Structure 1
């Protein structure tokens, strides 16, 4: 049996390099720093416990992002069953007076971004903000690469419509 100590070839040693991107992805899903930290911690623990299922000939980054995503949706389904809805931290800042035009623009973007359907928002985050390739994003979401491209295209188009003030535009897919 192989030693539990990580060798130089052991991909577990590479997890730390992906933590910042995983945390950013967790924050985009939860919209709350504390919840994102909790999600990240749960995902890393799951990854570590299930590392025996990781195939070294596959993409470690996509595997880790899939665990973050699946953990988020599992927790979300559980919370819905329990009928407990956590308040998003960004709602508490919406009433504060902005100190510059940049803050207003960021808040407007955030408001528009969270109007997108989950699938479109998730695809935009994975490819646009997290830097995953279309292929990695498709693998993470468990869909075809064409589906990811379509979600990104529709998400960008809808985001532009909302930002332009056309909030009553075509319904999201």
Structure 2
């Protein structure tokens, strides 16, 4: 009986040690898995925050450049209106076509960033705002040519055409901003 008692004790001791190791390993595995899930969640959260920051930066950059483009249009509008009213001269143009093209290309770069980061409907609004801003400049250049031509254009018609084009551009900008706000709130 003494031998059997020793064998049973040894087997029990080994089983206890192995069982303890197995329990400890399972506990460590569960802890590691829990930490890994927590780390994955942290990475996902950081990635979403970074993407949101890049998206917001793209929106702000686009709106800033659009505002610059439209502000230059407002200065040009003043020159056109002054000229159509008989004040000023043909040298009052506030921006060359080259400068306007540079502004437009900078604006187009910002639209490209919006395209990359924004949902399709917001990108479409940015494209619409850019298109209406470009049309505004087309109206301004046409009006400038008309008021400086051999037979100056009617001031009221010129101002009305410019105001209509400007209103469309600003409305498109406003719709873009509202779309962004809805997206960010939702």
| Fold shared per TM-score above 0.5 | no
Higher helix share: 2
Q: Which has the larger radius of gyration?
A: 2
Q: Pick the TM interval, shorter chain.
A: under 0.3
TM-score normalised to the size of structure 1? Answer: 0.27
